[in-house]
Structure 1
């Protein structure tokens, strides 16, 4: 081992779906080398296809995964990710994804996290009544580069074929179902190893984690000092009335709860079009 490698610290990664491809290189930048425990029981913490529900919130589940990886490897620190996908709360018919990557230090019981949120996802599902419809829908989901699930219905398990990445298996699964019922249900397989779009989102969340690891609390010097709240009320540039625009970001330390309000860079006022007085 070289002197450079000797300065690195081994951390466990809670995955059985190849997430090291999105995470390892970025954590190496901050001196962390990934170790993946064999046969990590990812399904114990919930499945996208619904066989098992997530045992807690997105954050709680990610931390629980990390804790399990520490148990399996005997290492002091572990990284884990957890995704959450569903309909956008504001934009109709648009899915929204949120990816979380955490680093848990078991010695200090501290957690540093990184986030990604966005609409760039193939998280979609739908019914088809013919092989032609199925192939057209599959193409919209990015098949075969992205894996698919064919099943008897939403949240049904009578027939469930996951991880479909070949045309032959896809055709056989759809035709089998259409021979038993009038329609087949198709959805994107959101597991990272068969979903490169989600893998990219995990990578972006890891980049955010690295940024958090480099941001230290001015009070206790713990990493993870980041924006956790915002203060709205950015004044209108025409009449000074407070708008819904963000005026300040609130940085909070998870360890000592130190807080700092910082004004938004290059944002002194809001456009009058967002002002309820100038543009009621």
Structure 2
């Protein structure tokens, strides 16, 4: 069985939170007449809530509902939040298409290394699938993006830090936990991956740099490229990482890192993700 490399999306593939999601949220709030504008400091707190709809729904306190004249019926509120989120996703994907969010260092490089070596490629994210696919295509190109299995959005009932999205991904790509390396950027993502029994590398991002990454197999500033070298934050296995995290480094971690086994059950998906077009390393 070939090894697999699974990426989170936001903060891992690109710095999407500061340059994409935050402005898209605020523009949507203005569009729908909601008296809310998130600052950087505000968003650093809200980003800890898994899922965009969930972040929006957390605003619906009795005080805001009354002040803004919003519906009080739970069903109407859910429909309203879903509409807000559709608007926000459209704004966000437009920003991706416009090139507003540069790819994070080392992602395109290590994806090519993994594809050439026959590794299975996947993305596991709590963000909406159209947004994830837009970022993926922007970062690795449309052709390579078709080689990824994408598991995103509301395909599981419980979002990170619950392990559901990673358990679903394991089943979807037919991989054993022992053969998988995950790249995450947040403590919630790390907790989700570790609870699924997966070796996890953390590349810290704008809003997560101060979080607790206990249990990560490796914590670095990024995967590294010639023009932006990887800075090691924590290397518990003493890999001796150079200026770039390589596929060989990740392969070594599969032998050195031993997360606890994944639970034997798999969550029931609420939707069926689209599989990759062919063999994972087909060009």
Higher-helix-fraction structure: 2
Higher-strand-fraction structure: 1
Q: What TM-score results when the alignment is normalised by the length of structure 1?
A: 0.25
Q: Which has the larger radius of gyration?
A: 1
Q: What TM-score results when the alignment is normalised by the length of structure 2?
A: 0.25
